[in-house]
Amino acid sequence: MKIGYAGMGIMGRGMAGCLLRDGHEVTVWNRTRARTDALAATGATVADTPAALAAGCDIIMVCVSDTPDVEAVTLGEEGLINGLADGKLIVDHSTISASATRQLAAAVREVGARWVDAPVSGGSEGAERGTLSIMVGGEVDDVERARPFMESYGTSITHVGPIGAGQMVKQVNQVLVVVNGLAVSEALLLAKAGGLDLDATIEAVKGGGAGSWMLANRGPQVVDRDWRPGFTIDLQQKDLRLVLESADELAVPLPATSLVFQLYRALQRRGLGHEGNHALVKALEEMAGLEVARD
């Protein structure tokens, strides 16, 4: 089985690398070709266009930034659709609009190919280590066909429903991530103001009812003032835009998520959109006149 991978961003590079480490035959494509160099050096073939990628592969993974990017990679002049044929399968790991996902799936079905939406969670660390959580929408047979390859980079792979359901579950995931991130930020700000040892505080609470992935993984980064992104503020904002659009369509109030969106917007105005999403704490620090850092 020949595997294609389109999108060598912060997540895609790690995921394609996991496929290579597991011995799969992998061809990659990226709009900026230089980003494929490291994978080419470890055995990947590089395609010149998405169409060439699709023509030479049986299953094509996609992980790009936003809905228009997936549409361009799939339906553009040199898009994947021009290389698809009966029996080929696209597995989209991007986080995009659920309605656009269903439209893209319908378009590739017209040429005999299949679509699975499979957004991921776990940050760039999870992509590199092969420990991502993957929420998958699609037909059972298509999901099971893709599963052995997704197991290269995912330890939790859950079929959540038909096409588009994966994207909706990812939106649920992002609500939990950012509201949890706000809680971590507020808690660490309180700990700092109270004169506590920040490392000891994190250690004391992370194993109990207040524990979470965000606290255990991003809390220490905040204390270290390490803003390297597992997921950038800019990408988080794109996801929250999708969440709030869905909430508006469904008439669901999401006050905490809306607040985080506005706090991130303030950080973007300060030119911090490239930093990790845990830099949310900086918005609270500015209001408090206090920095969450070791003494």
Q: Which residues are catalytic?
A: 170
Q: Tally DSSP H helices, then E strands, for the chain.
A: 13, 9
Residue 285: left (phi > 0), alpha (psi -120 to 50), or beta? Answer: alpha
Helix (H) or strand (E) holding 133: strand 132-137
Residue 30, both tokens: 């990226």
CB 227 within 8 A of CB 221: yes
Residue 235 CA to residue 143 CA, distance in Å, equals 26
Q: If you write DSSP's letter for every residue of 239-281 in order, what string do you get?
A: HHHHHHHHHHHHT---HHHHHHHHHHHHHHHTT-TTSBGGGGH
Terminal-residue alpha carbon distance, the chain = 55
